[in-house]
Structure 1
């Protein structure tokens, strides 16, 4: 455990800032100038608050480390069973939800990277052949290349060993966010005034039907809330830290820096993008521009590099979970336990692996890539997974284990306040999930499997 506040901050930024930042102007457009910024700042505060609660639960009262999110739930299960009427099923649900969200994010990142790759091809085509040129095409070759890169990257031993990757990914997230800010600012300046309305997209003759407005507003709320999803990786990041100073103190600072920096970018991109495009803000702010084509290409390249690193930040805890389970189940199998060593550039640097690591990690990445190819709109499904996961992973379980650790009794003002937050988060999750389901149903009417097109 050699991590510092800065390595943890890099992991946190990589985990929190996703390519979803480019869709925030659309989300703000659905909610308007009042509720859009309130949603961005409110979700940031909730994420930071619950992160602080979870950070203090990393070690049990006797000093034992909890290495994973599930370990935290298990450690406090006995007390929770008495005070909150929870049992082993809740830990199982916690694990299934966490790992489903991690895997769903990996699939979504694959699709998003594909979209950026195809956008580069399309932008260059339109620039050189003219705006009326036919520039669409299949992206299966691009998604195959992304999967191949992740197969190689998946052989990193663990999350602690990809700090450099996280630093690069964090830098790339800043790069494409800054490009989006620059392009939005330029368009805003050319418009000579800020676009948009108090309540966002209008309803009626010159707007959208009321039902569309309602569901898109719910989806926007969900998109903003889930853009800040962080708690499901917090414990795994905290487990990389040095024991001195105490891990919870270091992680508090890292969470503040990571979420603070993320919020600055989210609010800036969301609000400036909305000011530039108004209620017609595109789903991906970069797609709203065609020139300068080279700058748009740079933004998409930065997005791809960021997604390569973010994919691994989400994948490594998932790899560690099933590898630990299988190695214990087959404790005498050479497939899981015999280590092979391959020298690299010198005798002091070697690549150490087991056959299970090579085979299973590669197979898992291949399966993820195939699913992304089969369902090219999987971002909508990931949105549904996020809607389902936001309440239990970001709010419910952090609050539950904290109340168990702090011995908060039913009826106390803290108990009432924390449960009120629970209820609000649950309502947001349910509404966003419903909106995502409607979106998926509409997309299923037009999808062509294994044929991804921009």
Structure 2
């Protein structure tokens, strides 16, 4: 009997060993296709992350930089731009370290900016972050709709000027162009997830380099044509504008430059597309360095050469300045590239907002087929059918329609850009990353490091308040001569 029990125990041991081996094999197979959180394997790299960041950063903001430098002058303009780039890079490295809570390799993932706040700070700050972040994303969608219509009008106007020999003022209404952009965005908004946008980001990045290079080339050409560099050390002179307007414009310029560097609101979402090892924080640190360096170089070149070309008369949108109507075909290429880029940038910024609303709707109504059920729609030429979700389609369509209508009501490019930059820069790019870093590393209150971080945060808060005030003043001034849906440009 003892021998029988021993034999049975041996058989059981063999069976357990076989079972354990099979589990290991299954786990190894699963790890090839899924990450540690059970989601499909992430495939993002330094270069795809950089493409996402460049798509988000080198947007319509680059076009207002010549105007911004014109308000600040040759000394303060470039200095402020370099300062913003350094602050953005530093705080972005702090923020990227918050993607995982605890261990940077195996800690719990935070899929969104709000989740990172919840894990590190909690309480009221989570709601405050969500409010600021998603309002800013909503505003960016409006800003990009306005910018795209300006570029489309510039194409039409340059061709009109060319045909009439400059005799026709070529005034037009931007509403039809905003509606056209909105229709395109309704279509692209049906792309379900952020990680499926990598190809659109790469196309958009190429377009951003295209129009930035053209703007740079035209600026250099204009400087050569003028046989000299325009502008002054202190910016636009009092007399050309009043003292009060000079101050407000200088403040608005800070907002324009801040907007040109705003991508922290989607940094965590971009980081969630990156594969590991190495740790996602290391990859994002490299991607941030590459992106901020490249964009700052482009910004300095485009902004400075634009100012050198036009001086005090630098236009709010570099490529729509009167001096650039020749060669008109090059202007058309540049503005077409802007429109294509903004199609992609709109999606990069709005996808986190889409995901937030859809996730919360699914959580609140888990049994609703309208919200949760996917309908498979076969598409000729594609291997996999498109998964149509009724709630997603309707809500995203309504979102695009809303941003388009608001853009038609407030088509003030510079004022809106400055206001968005001011409202988003301090809380999202500086305050929350600094506070999370202090909490994560348990930095003692009133220590030297704590004081330095708080001084950085307070300085950026003051800059943001000044920029917001200047931008509001600019929008109020524009509203004096504006009629909703009727004003032609």
TM over 0.5: yes
- Asked whether 1:45 is paired with 2:86, we answer yes
What runs of 5+ residues in structure 2 fail to find an aligned partner? 1-41
Q: Is the 8 A contact 1:374 1:451 kept in 2?
A: no
Evaluate the alpha carbon distance shift between residue 20 and residue 452 of structure 1 in structure 2; reply closer, same or farther with a 3 A threshold: farther
Q: Is the 8 A contact 1:375 1:450 kept in 2?
A: no
Q: Is the 8 A contact 2:254 2:418 kept in 1?
A: no
Q: Distance in 1 between the 2:470 and 2:394 partners?
A: 38
TM-score when normalising by structure 2: 0.88
Aligned-partner SS, 2:330: helix
- Which of 391, 394, 403 in structure 2 is aligned with 1:356? 391
TM-score when normalising by structure 1: 0.95
Q: How does 1:224-303 map to 2 (within 5 A)?
A: 224-288=257-321, 289-303=324-338
- In the other structure, the counterpart of 1:401 is 436
How far residue 444 of structure 1 moved from its aligned partner, in angstroms, is 1.6
Q: Which has the higher contact order (CA 8 A, sep 6+)?
A: 1
Alpha-carbon RMSD across the aligned residues, in angstroms, is 1.4
- In the other structure, the counterpart of 1:419 is 454
- Which of 163, 187, 194 in structure 2 is aligned with 1:128? 163
How far residue 103 of structure 1 moved from its aligned partner, in angstroms, is 0.6
How far residue 451 of structure 1 moved from its aligned partner, in angstroms, is 2.8
Instruction: Name the stretch that deviates more: 371-380 or 295-304.
Output: 371-380
- In the other structure, the counterpart of 2:18 is none
Q: Distance in 2 between the 1:12 and 1:452 partners?
A: 35
Aligned-partner SS, 2:251: helix
Q: Distance in 1 between the 2:147 and 2:180 partners?
A: 14
Q: Is the 8 A contact 1:108 1:379 kept in 2?
A: no
Evaluate the alpha carbon distance shift between residue 287 and residue 330 of structure 1 in structure 2; reply closer, same or farther with a 3 A threshold: same
- In the other structure, the counterpart of 2:8 is none
Q: How does 1:57-136 map to 2 (within 5 A)?
A: 57-61=98-102, 63-77=107-121, 88-136=123-171
How far residue 376 of structure 1 moved from its aligned partner, in angstroms, is 2.3
How far residue 345 of structure 1 moved from its aligned partner, in angstroms, is 3.5
Alignment length, in residue pairs? 443
- Which of 45, 52, 56 in structure 2 is aligned with 1:15? 56
- Which of 131, 141, 145 in structure 1 is aligned with 2:180? 145
Q: Distance in 2 between the 1:72 and 1:133 partners?
A: 55
Q: Is the 8 A contact 1:98 1:393 kept in 2?
A: yes
Give the number of the structure whose alpha-carbon radius of gyration is greater.
Answer: 2
Q: Distance in 2 between the 1:52 and 1:129 partners?
A: 53
- Which of 221, 226, 233 in structure 1 is aligned with 2:254? 221
Give a deviation string over 1:398-450, Cα, whole Å, max 9, x none.
00001100111111111111111111100000001111111111112112112
How far residue 355 of structure 1 moved from its aligned partner, in angstroms, is 1.0
- In the other structure, the counterpart of 2:19 is none
- Asked whether 1:26 is paired with 2:57, we answer no
Q: Distance in 2 between the 1:54 and 1:347 partners?
A: 38
How far residue 359 of structure 1 moved from its aligned partner, in angstroms, is 1.2
- In the other structure, the counterpart of 1:441 is 476
- Asked whether 1:313 is paired with 2:348, we answer yes
- Asked whether 1:195 is paired with 2:230, we answer yes
Q: Distance in 2 between the 1:313 and 1:266 partners?
A: 21
Give a deviation string over 1:354-406, Cα, whole Å, max 9, x none.
11111111111112112212222265235323312211001000000011001
Q: Is the 8 A contact 2:256 2:414 kept in 1?
A: no
- In the other structure, the counterpart of 2:445 is 410
Give a deviation string over 1:306-340, Cα, whole Å, max 9, x none.
10000000110000000001111011000011111
Give a deviation string over 1:126-161, Cα, whole Å, max 9, x none.
100121213112232222211111001001111110
How far residue 229 of structure 1 moved from its aligned partner, in angstroms, is 0.8
- Runs of 4+ that moved beyond 4 A: none
Q: Distance in 1 between the 2:409 and 2:238 partners?
A: 36
Q: Is the 8 A contact 2:249 2:474 kept in 1?
A: no
- Asked whether 1:156 is paired with 2:191, we answer yes
- Which of 243, 246, 268 in structure 2 is aligned with 1:210? 243
How far residue 208 of structure 1 moved from its aligned partner, in angstroms, is 2.4
Evaluate the alpha carbon distance shift between residue 362 and residue 210 of structure 1 in structure 2; reply closer, same or farther with a 3 A threshold: same
Q: Is the 8 A contact 1:111 1:379 kept in 2?
A: no
Q: Distance in 2 between the 1:275 and 1:450 partners?
A: 35
How far residue 347 of structure 1 moved from its aligned partner, in angstroms, is 6.7
Q: Distance in 2 between the 1:324 and 1:272 partners?
A: 45
Aligned-partner SS, 2:411: coil
Q: Distance in 2 between the 1:423 and 1:163 partners?
A: 36
